[in-house]
Amino acid sequence: NLYQIPEVSKPRYVRVNTLKIDVDSALLELGRQNMVQKDDVVPDLLILPPATDLHNHPLVMNGSVFLQGKASSMVATALDPKPGWEVLDACSAPGNKTAHLAALMRGKGKIIACELNKERVKRLKETIKLSGASNIKVLNGDFLNINPKDPSVSTIRAILLDPSCSGSGTVSVRLDNLLPSYAAADVKDTERLNKLAAFQKKALAHALSSERVVYSTCSIHQIENEDVIESVLPLAASYGFQLATPFPQWQRRGLPVFQGSQHLLRTDPAEDGEGFFIALFTKEDNINHFEK
Ligand code: SAM
């Protein structure tokens, strides 16, 4: 049985593209026809009433705002890239998070947007064009082939890794997935999940070459989330990484399957509209990033 969470009950979110418009101007503009509020967790995110259709709104058409959900907008925010940094978006198409990184960096610094799939690169380029960012270099290739020692990438400070995943947190939500056992997967899914998880582990291990790394999925499955993180912990520790706590005020954390999983972040399909997962690795001593 597939039970769709009624679309109509979910609030709508738009991420203000601050490269093109400031949040208050967007709020004023959208507020002419709608009730609009600022989100209290993600800066630059606006909340609109359920069923608001903005697809043809001029601010959407001209890239001033992006139709991007809250959980998706938490990912680049968790990486917290600073203007002037060099940042790699390892698996980037269609580019929503790439465009968000550019906005967070206020257009300053450099972003490398890597994408394996040639067709999806087209979409990525369109998103980048729409965002107005001029500091993004698109790389059509395999992230696993990027050599961290190559001088052209050795100055990268932060990596956002949002690899291919099952998408189980965003598509039609099964009733059993709404129940507490997030680890459950159909037997027929197991092979696919194992394959995805193998790539995710490999990609995350490869990403542990900068100072800050965010790993995210739109999956609710432990095998693509906590298990991937747990598998790289010894390697991460040997490189001097710790798990930091993105959005410490957020209640829903990782499943308690290893010590430290409370640092991980989950969003819940039923409560939050989408099931996302975020992990943040950092080498910084900045105590603000950690839970005491
Ligand atoms: N971050 C994107 C966004 O927010 O718009 C979504 C990324 S999507 C979940 C994963 C992407 O990774 C897909 O476009 C897929 O083609 C790409 N991909 C898969 N394997 C890859 C690899 N080895 N190197 C680079 N990109 C890869």
Residue in this structure with the two tokens 């270099």, named with its chain if needed: 137
Q: Name residues whose C-beta falls within 8 Å of residue 249's C-beta, 6 or more positions apart in sequence.
A: 41
Pairing outcome for strands 86-89 and 158-161: parallel
Atom of ligand 1 nearest to the CA of 203: 23
Distance from C-alpha of 141 to C-alpha of 164, rounded to nearest angstrom: 14
Q: Which of 13, 17, 116, 168 to mutate to test the pocket of ligand 1 (most atoms within 8 A of CB)?
A: 116
Q: What are the residue boundaries of the structural domains of the chain, listed by start? A: 7-67, 71-289
Of the candidates 279, 283, 289, 285, the residue with the CA atom closest to the CA atom of residue 258:
279
Task: Show the tokens assigned to 79.
Answer: 């990486």
Distance from C-alpha of 95 to C-alpha of 254, rounded to nearest angstrom: 26
- Evaluate: CB of 91 within 6 angstroms of ligand 1: yes
The three-point CA angle 19-21-25 to 5° equals 160
Tens-level pLDDT at each residue, the chain (292 residues): 344 555 557 899 999 999 999 999 999 999 988 899 999 999 999 999 998 999 999 999 999 999 999 999 999 999 999 999 999 999 999 999 999 999 999 999 999 999 999 999 999 999 999 999 999 999 999 999 999 888 888 899 999 999 999 999 997 544 444 444 444 556 568 999 999 999 999 999 999 999 999 999 999 999 999 999 999 999 999 999 999 999 999 999 999 999 999 999 999 999 999 999 999 999 965 443 333 3
Q: Which of 72, 91, 139 to mutate to test the pocket of ligand 1 (most atoms within 8 A of CB)?
A: 91
- Evaluate: CB of 182 within 6 angstroms of ligand 1: no
Given a contact cutoff of 8 angstroms between Cβ atoms, the answer to whether 264 and 243 are in contact is yes
Element (H, E) at 203: helix 187-207
Given a contact cutoff of 8 angstroms between Cβ atoms, the answer to whether 52 and 166 are in contact is no
Pairing outcome for strands 277-282 and 242-244: antiparallel
**Which residues line the annotated binding site for S-adenosyl-L-methionine?**
91-97, 115, 142, 162
**Backbone φ and ψ of 284, nearest 5°:** -70, 155
Pick the CATH number of 71-289 from 3.30.1490.100, 3.30.70.980, 3.40.50.150, 2.40.50.140: 3.40.50.150
Partners of 113 in beta bridges? 89, 138
Atom of ligand 1 nearest to the CA of 89: 1
pLDDT at 186: 62
Q: What is the CA radius of gyration of the chain?
A: 18
CA dihedral 21, 26, 27, 32 (to 10 degrees): 150
- Evaluate: CB of 116 within 6 angstroms of ligand 1: yes
Instruction: Assess whether 218 carries a catalytic annotation.
Output: yes
Instruction: Tell me the pTM.
Output: 0.91
CATH topology of domain 7-67: Alpha-Beta Plaits (3.30.70)
- Sheet harboring 37-38: ordered strands across? 37-38, 45-48, 12-16, 65-66
